[in-house]
C-alpha cells in the first residue's frame, strides 16, 4: 500500500473498545501498527469512537479530532455552562456552577456541549485546505452510517473533487462505494483485523 505525504485516517465504530482487556490490547496493537505507517508524514485522524484510547497511543493528540466527544471529558448534565472538565478535575462529579451531576462529554449527552471538540475540528478543517490538489490518502476504517456527515460523506466528496485524492474504505459490512468514484477501493473486512493483518508485526 502506498502512503503519500498527506493522509487522513477516519476511525469508526469497529474500533470501539470492548469491556475485556484482550479487546483493548488488540486495539492498542492496531493503533500502533497504523501509526508506524504515518509516522513522519503530514496526517490527521478523525475518530468517531469516544473511549479516548487513541490518546493513549503514539498518535499526536494535536493531530486528532474527536467530534463525537470523549468518555474522559465531562460536562454539566444540565448544560448550564460551556465548561468542559478532564477526568478527575472535579472529584465529586458535581457541576461547580449549578450542582447538577456531570456527564461524559459525548454525543450521547443531551444536550451535547460541542465546545470540547470544536477547537481541534476547526484545526482539522483548516488543514484540509492545504491538501487541495496534493497527493492525499483517505483511509476510512470501520466507519458506519451512524453519523455519515462527519467522515463517510466528506471523504467521498473529497475523493470525487480532488484528482489526487484516493479513498480506501475498509469495513466488515459497510464497505460499499458510490457509483462513479474512480479513485477508490473497498475492502470488505473488519478494519481492525485488516490493519493487524496488513501492518502488524506478524504481517509480511
Q: Give domain limits for the chain.
A: 6-68+117-199, 71-111
Q: What is the number of other CB atoms lying within 10 angstroms of the CB of residue 168?
A: 19
Strands ordered across the beta sheet of 102-106 = 85-86, 69-76, 102-106
Rounded Cα–Cα distance for residues 128 and 198 (Å): 27
Categorise residue 107: left if φ over 0, alpha if ψ from -120 to 50, beta otherwise: alpha
Instruction: Report the CATH fold assignment for 6-68+117-199.
Output: Rossmann fold (3.40.50)
Give, for all 204 residues of the chain, the pLDDT tens digit: 889 999 999 999 999 998 899 999 999 999 999 999 999 999 999 999 999 999 999 999 999 999 999 999 999 999 999 999 999 999 999 999 999 999 999 999 999 999 999 999 999 999 999 998 899 999 999 999 999 999 999 999 999 999 899 999 999 999 999 998 999 999 999 999 999 999 987 554
Give me 105's grid cell: 462529554
Contact (Cβ atoms closer than 8 angstroms) between residue 95 and residue 127: no
Amino acid at each position: 500500500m502506498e502512503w503519500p505525504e498527506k493522509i487522513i485516517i477516519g476511525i469508526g465504530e469497529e474500533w470501539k473498545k470492548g469491556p475485556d482487556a484482550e479487546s483493548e490490547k488488540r486495539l492498542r496493537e492496531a493503533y500502533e501498527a497504523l501509526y508506524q505507517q504515518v509516522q513522519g508524514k503530514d496526517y490527521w485522524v478523525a475518530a468517531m469512537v469516544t473511549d479516548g484510547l487513541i490518546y493513549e497511543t503514539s498518535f499526536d493528540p494535536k493531530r486528532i479530532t474527536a467530534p463525537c466527544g470523549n468518555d474522559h471529558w465531562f460536562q454539566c448534565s444540565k448544560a448550564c455552562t460551556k465548561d468542559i472538565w478532564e477526568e478527575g478535575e472535579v472529584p465529586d462529579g458535581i457541576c461547580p456552577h449549578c450542582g447538577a451531576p456531570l456527564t461524559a462529554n459525548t454525543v450521547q449527552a443531551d444536550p451535547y456541549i460541542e465546545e470540547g471538540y470544536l477547537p481541534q475540528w476547526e484545526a482539522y478543517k483548516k488543514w484540509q485546505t492545504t491538501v487541495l490538489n496534493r497527493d492525499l490518502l483517505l483511509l476510512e476504517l470501520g466507519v458506519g452510517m451512524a453519523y455519515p456527515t462527519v467522515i463517510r460523506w466528506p471523504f467521498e466528496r473529497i475523493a470525487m473533487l480532488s484528482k489526487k485524492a484516493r479513498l480506501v474504505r475498509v469495513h466488515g459490512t459497510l464497505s460499499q462505494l458510490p457509483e462513479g468514484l474512480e479513485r477508490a477501493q473497498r475492502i470488505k473486512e473488519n478494519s481492525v483485523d485488516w490493519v493487524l493483518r496488513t501492518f502488524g508485526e506478524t504481517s509480511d
